Structure 1
Amino acid sequence: MKTKKIITSSLVFIFSVLLVWYLFVKVNDYCISFKVKTATGTVFQGINEWSISRLSSNKESYVILEKKNFSFIKQEMKKGKVTMEYTWDINSINDSITNVSVGIKELNNSIYNRLTAPFFSTNFKETQLKKITDFRNGLNKHNESFKIKIDGERTSEEVFVAYLSLKSVLQEKAQTMIRNDDIITGFLHQNNIKIEGKPYLEIQSWNQDKETLEFNYCFPIDKNTRLIENDMVKFKTIPAVKGLQATYFGNFRTSDRAWFALLDYAKSHNLQLTNKPLEHFLANPFNGGDELSWETKIIIPFE
């Protein structure tokens, strides 16, 4: 009889501890998980872009409280009197599949949500399921707009180029190139310097925390070209580099999706890469056509 009381007391104690933890200590009210066929960095960028779009479409204002590229984001969302926290854990399962877990907490109604969400179809639960499902569906649709093939270890060609040094945030890399295209091509045309091949983009610095880039927008020319001094257009040799290469098919605005795929591949295969991708654009976007036919070779050098 005494043993039975001890067991019963122990079970009551354990249950009480678990209940206190669940109601008052557990970080989130509700968690939603899903898998997506894309790289962790693409999910990370997708969350940022989705959060911006929610402001215009749903009057939801998101602020990043904490982040770790490209595996974790904690956000605070405010809409009217409602304040919520979203905690996104982003983990690569293999070279192409990413698992996403979204922890959700409503700051003013947390205990009620914890008591009801596991058992009832509440407004909170249904609203969050729809919101995260819409995000996942949007991400899947975005992934249909490009294709990536990991080519493996490769060595790029040495090339002599005329180039512009530019800066931008990651999301505006292609737009920055387009805005400056007339400057460099106009200079080359005015000075009868023939372009010999497709353009390159050489990353000099990639600050992943601030999502900023410093890069060279380059056009191949003959190495024996008579060099002309100019405040903006410079000349150099891009050396051959050995690294991990991917072929990207899609709009150049989102070619960084191949960077993320290469980083995930390198991580899963214990390879150390720099933060200096080299892109070689093999199509001319000014010609239009099917974006999935626009080919770019991207190599990230080994450390």
Structure 2
Amino acid sequence: MKKIVYGALVLIFAALVWYLFIKPSDYTIRFTANTFPGAINQTLKLWDKDLDTVVKLKQDGDLYHLEQKIRFGDSIHRYRWSIKPINDSTSKVVVNIKDENHSLANKLNVPFSDTDFEKRGRATVRDFMETLQEHKEKFKVKVVGEDEMPTKYVAYIPLKATQPKKAGRMMKNFSYLMGELMDRGVKFDGFPLVEVTKWNQDNDSIHFNFGRPIIRSEKLPMGTDIQYKRIFKKKALKAEYYGNYITSDRAWYALLDYAEKNDIPIEPTPIEVFHNNPSSDGNELKWKAEIYLPIKEDVK
């Protein structure tokens, strides 16, 4: 009997030591979001820009884990976000929060009262959830599945940007690219497109070619910033995106999830084909883009 009591006391003592001094968070919030992890990841990064953060939100190894430090008065609160996909349209989010200045006091008070620390944490997470809900209503992604990217000869300009600034770089170069081609009487062979050549998923930076499929001829402008290449037919995963082209990369993440769930090896170099001219239609949910994520060829 004494051994049982002694063992129980040891376990209780060990649990208290872990809770008070080792447990990495003071308070945990869980919620379910009706969207895929990539959309949550990108919305978190945009939301973070409006906060009084001491350390800006950054990924911790992959897009499913992120960390930030937010200032509240004389305290610094660390938020660790973990995102887990449940199915194609639902994710579970766990937020572990720690007050770096008053962690021990919080751990002592949280089990017995609804502290200001807890209320502030809930309010902060609720603010993000509202931001996420607003964002979800502004776009739609439909994963089509395996398809084929057709062969195209493309006139393009190589560019660099972060994902949120991709559309701005496209707009800045659109008039120049189209003007040069039209002045020479070049015939177009499809919608404007973006071919991503490098994608750093840690800092959301991309290298990409912004161009237009054309009919190859002797009329092509030379000695300019415009370059030419052939994009060859390739197997790819395909999605349809509807919404502002600034956030068309949400479809990239939907395709990454689809590839992982179906064990399909892919190349992280998306190709986007834009069907609409944003200046001629104010309803963003009618703007369509086809998104292709190339499938890796079999290595023999």
TM-score range, shorter chain: over 0.9
> Structure 1 stretches of 5 or more lacking a match?
none
Asked if the contact 1:95/1:268 (under 8 Å) is kept, the reply is no
Matched, 1:50 2:47: yes
Matches within 5 A, 1:193-208: 193-208=186-201
Residue 17 (structure 2) aligns with: 20
Matched ranges for 1:107-186 at <5 A: 107-186=100-179
Distance 2:40 2:112 in 1: 30
Query: Is the deviation greater in 277-286 or in 90-99?
Result: 90-99
Is the contact made by 1:63 and 1:76 (CA closer than 8 Å) also made in structure 2? yes
Q: Which residue of 2 aligns with 1:9?
A: 6
Q: Secondary structure at the match of 1:273?
A: coil
CA contact (8 A) 1:201 1:215 kept: yes
Shift of 1:92: 1.2
Do the aligned residues in 1 keep the contact of 2:146 with 2:237 (CA within 8 Å)? yes
Distance (whole Å) between structure 2 residues aligned to residue 85 and residue 77 of structure 1: 6
Structure 1 counterpart of 2:21, which letter?
F
**Are residue 249 (structure 1) and residue 246 (structure 2) matched?**
no
Q: Does 1:263 align with 2:260?
A: no
Helix, strand or coil for the counterpart of 2:267? Answer: coil
Structure 2: which 5+ residue stretches go unaligned?
A: none
TM-aligned CA deviation for residue 189 of structure 1: 2.1
Tell me the residue number matched to 1:34: 31
Kindly provide the amino acid, as one letter, of the partner of residue 288 in structure 2: E
Other structure's SS at 1:111 match: helix
CA displacement, residues 248-281 of structure 1 (integer Å, 9 cap, x when unaligned) = 0101000000001111111111111111001111
SS of alignment partner, residue 100 of structure 1: strand
2:230 corresponds to which of 229, 237, 243: 237
Counterpart selection for 1:103 from 76, 96, 100: 96
Aligned partners of 1:278 and 1:300 also within 8 Å:
yes
Normalising by structure 2, we get a TM-score of 0.94
Q: Cα RMSD over matched residues?
A: 1.5
2:84 & 2:142 partners in 1: Cα distance? Answer: 20
**Aligned counterparts of 1:302 and 1:197: Cα–Cα separation in 2:** 22
Question: SS in structure 2 opposite 1:135?
Answer: helix
The number of residues matched between the two structures is: 296
SS at match of 1:68: coil
Q: TM-score, normalised by structure 1?
A: 0.93
Matched residue SS, 1:103: strand
